[in-house]
Structure 1
């Protein structure tokens, strides 16, 4: 930004406290018009608090926010805020039961009398066409893919007149091709003069799509730099305070004679996968890799009973499990970390203790009554083992950062010492330190004899696996032993392996 250029967005000297917790301490950010500016930092660094202040949902205790050099409007003037800034959150704000058109214009009907539905749908189609969103305005939003929901939210934000958009972990639930399409759309918007703040834990994405980056750590602003001038190791050091935060997997010897704790035979599900056989042994970590259309998530969800296969058998710890029965799978000795922690992983209003001990609640008391002391003690042990950053076992999980909430989900999955564990994208949307804790906990479980099926889009996650099963178009096409190269594994995932 030149000396005479006014910042599109500026936050100065922002301090925000929640009780004894200092969420932001004299922090700030300056974003140049028309740039894509990354905001990175560990969970708990203050990113979410800054977003809430930049979108007018929270008032800072100290400091000020300016848009194009002008002070931010009063918090009560929501229309003024919508004209200045919009946020596409990791957790979608689209209402599934409404159509795309209804979502685009919800709470915006200005005419008196009945709604003119034909005119509303026509305006929605024009808006979608204007911003290049190839979605039917009459579709129910619940039938859209994650990628399509995000594009609808971006179009809705721009329709208010906002030229500054915050993208909060937009790639967390997208596969490779969808991420590429999102980045192309972001570049198109930037050429149209839209300014963006991009929040991500994937540092390679920062280097691919952003021009500048700001780092927060421990509620403070650490640095702001052009991306081209900041080496990867310096960015990691700024985020963590350490030179290298990469997780190093532990040396482990495979026991090919260990008992099979999770198996599938001839498993098939129309339009998802077919003729899948697999076996996971005690003390083994088996990876499951593939593109978003490979069928890997559908297969994992079938193994735990979230989906019902059209044919084939699933065995957990030696016992055949009834298809489509989650309860039966859990009783047989299966632990599960779902892909969508927000909707399937925890109950946000319940405490850490209540969430983490759900599978073992019947063991924490007598005659059907749960001992609060036993539950609290067990939860405290889990908090210490997984390094969950919290005020205590009674804190609601909804108040935790994403990485710490994911640790609670994993703690619950491991609470009954399962024979087998299925985890789907366990490190999506969490920082490098949380990744270390989560992957370390998975390896700890393996050391205790648990067999793990690890489904992930992250190559770094898959490095802890003893072998990786690669799926392509619904079939397991390769069993890759430990020691693979990135190029070889990605080639197999994309179907170009020889």
Structure 2
């Protein structure tokens, strides 16, 4: 292993040049600053952590380091040489690869076919020599001590094995710098330990890693140096061993965040049935285990957690989007059929899904149709839609949610992101729900729309509905009376409404600030 940096973050190294160095990198998307003069220096043979809250700039930096887009300003170099031009894809593959949280392995192909896709050995006739390709796959996997059968269909591999295949594929191009994007999000404890063992083995063989994770405890287990981004800027770069966990969390959250707005503690309407009662809920896919929680009438409860914590899956199970393997869900005193969205809506639930584009809207349908999809019984009898009645209901929604649209008949795809999210919220509120479930309700909307939507959430609670907000965005959670934190599929901590950012973030990341 080469020497560690003499001055972390300064770019001055003894010995060979760093495996990758980004200097003064900036990137804008219209008025939005995604990166603001960010520096990153990764020494050969290290595992360097890149951390930051959502929107900090990590994904943009990764796209620049992998040649998917060019910075507006700044320089990137590999081993002391300037980065290739964007069009030179093979040159980029020889320098850097990224193993994303969402696998790029093609399930229908074998391991060997995935390893050498579009690079197969060919015989004298020009046809693919499958035997030679399989032999080369065996040699590659053996070289890097990866126990995977090259003849196995990739669709039969575990998440852990798919990651190993992606790493092996990157190494086959010649890359010795690999970016791991949330590699542990879908792994259990034993698989995480095996992955860390593989990282250490590859480090010893001269492979360098940039490790991106929401689980800060993992940073202290596997990484040598950590760089923190916040609000598109580099906040600190330091050896992990010299950075206390409380200081790492503070760098991610910022001192200013500690004085943020907090919701009043309204209390629960004891005279009404709980809006939501969940007991010992366990996911069929293992995403969460034995989750129990209550949401009172008039209460806003946050379900916080980083990626892979299980918070989203629990919220989707409550509204019937998915079925649990075990446990009970009770909405306003009724037990809807597991895995049935219509039953959950009939019991009194309203729902804002995580992704409005894929799950919340039908783009080519009108604002009026999208806003009334959940209340067909109010639109007419025997399955027929009374367009006048629909338009009257839609007009009320447009007024109530201040949706900016020239007409209720405009396709919802013609609205801004904030107004699209208001349409999704309008539909969730259309039947006066007793329980409102929201997943990342302000993701991708402007500041004014965010404030408006969160005010509507509080207004809904004051009217007597219970609210469950599953989110990792601190602004979403500030309106909550209390927050439950999930980590690796279980509820681990609870906070009252006067929580501090650094304590909540630490719990979400699985960090013990007293360690």
TM range, smaller chain: 0.5 to 0.7
Task: For 2:369 and 2:388, locate their aligned partners in 1 and report how far apart those are by CA, in whole Å.
Answer: 20
* 2:51 counterpart (31, 34, 40): 40
Task: Name the CA shift for 1:448/1:26 in 2 (closer, same or farther; >3 Å).
Answer: same
User: Which residue does 2:348 correspond to in 1?
Assistant: 333
User: Which residue does 1:229 correspond to in 2?
Assistant: 242
Task: For 1:36 and 1:337, locate their aligned partners in 2 and report how far apart those are by CA, in whole Å.
Answer: 38
| Equivalent residues in 2 for 1:177-196, closer than 5 Å | 177-196=190-209
Task: Name the CA shift for 1:233/1:3 in 2 (closer, same or farther; >3 Å).
Answer: same
Task: Name the CA shift for 1:219/1:252 in 2 (closer, same or farther; >3 Å).
Answer: same
SS in structure 2 at match of 1:51: helix
Instruction: Return 191-200 or 167-176, whichever deviates more.
Output: 167-176
User: Which residue does 1:321 correspond to in 2?
Assistant: 336
Deviation of the 1:37 alpha carbon: 1.3
Deviation of the 1:73 alpha carbon: 1.2
Task: Name the CA shift for 1:409/1:44 in 2 (closer, same or farther; >3 Å).
Answer: farther
Deviation of the 1:7 alpha carbon: 0.9
Deviation of the 1:251 alpha carbon: 5.4
Task: Name the CA shift for 1:306/1:141 in 2 (closer, same or farther; >3 Å).
Answer: farther
Deviation of the 1:228 alpha carbon: 2.1
Task: Name the CA shift for 1:393/1:215 in 2 (closer, same or farther; >3 Å).
Answer: farther
User: Which residue does 2:9 correspond to in 1?
Assistant: none
User: Which residue does 1:242 correspond to in 2?
Assistant: 255
Contact kept in structure 2, 1:357 and 1:379, CA below 8 Å = no
User: Which residue does 2:85 correspond to in 1?
Assistant: 74
SS in structure 1 at match of 2:21: strand
Task: For 2:371 and 2:217, locate their aligned partners in 1 and report how far apart those are by CA, in whole Å.
Answer: 37
Contact kept in structure 2, 1:317 and 1:333, CA below 8 Å = yes
User: Which residue does 2:65 correspond to in 1?
Assistant: 54
| Equivalent residues in 2 for 1:400-419, closer than 5 Å | 415=429, 418-419=433-434
Task: For 2:141 and 2:131, locate their aligned partners in 1 and report how far apart those are by CA, in whole Å.
Answer: 15
SS in structure 1 at match of 2:255: coil
SS in structure 1 at match of 2:117: coil
Task: For 2:26 and 2:283, locate their aligned partners in 1 and report how far apart those are by CA, in whole Å.
Answer: 53
* 1:161 counterpart (158, 174, 181): 174
Pairs aligned (count) = 450
Task: For 2:363 and 2:110, locate their aligned partners in 1 and report how far apart those are by CA, in whole Å.
Answer: 29
Deviation of the 1:135 alpha carbon: 4.5
User: Which residue does 1:149 correspond to in 2?
Assistant: 162
Contact kept in structure 2, 1:356 and 1:412, CA below 8 Å = no
Contact kept in structure 2, 1:56 and 1:75, CA below 8 Å = yes
Contact kept in structure 2, 1:16 and 1:23, CA below 8 Å = yes
User: Which residue does 1:394 correspond to in 2?
Assistant: 416
TM-score, length-scaled by structure 1 = 0.67
Deviation of the 1:344 alpha carbon: 6.8
Task: For 1:107 and 1:379, locate their aligned partners in 2 and report how far apart those are by CA, in whole Å.
Answer: 51
Contact kept in structure 2, 1:356 and 1:411, CA below 8 Å = no
Deviation of the 1:214 alpha carbon: 1.9
* 2:221 counterpart (198, 202, 208): 208
Deviation of the 1:38 alpha carbon: 1.7
Structure 1, unpaired ranges of 5+: 383-391, 398-404, 431-435, 491-498
User: Which residue does 2:210 correspond to in 1?
Assistant: 197
TM-score, length-scaled by structure 2 = 0.65
Task: For 2:492 and 2:37, locate their aligned partners in 1 and report how far apart those are by CA, in whole Å.
Answer: 51
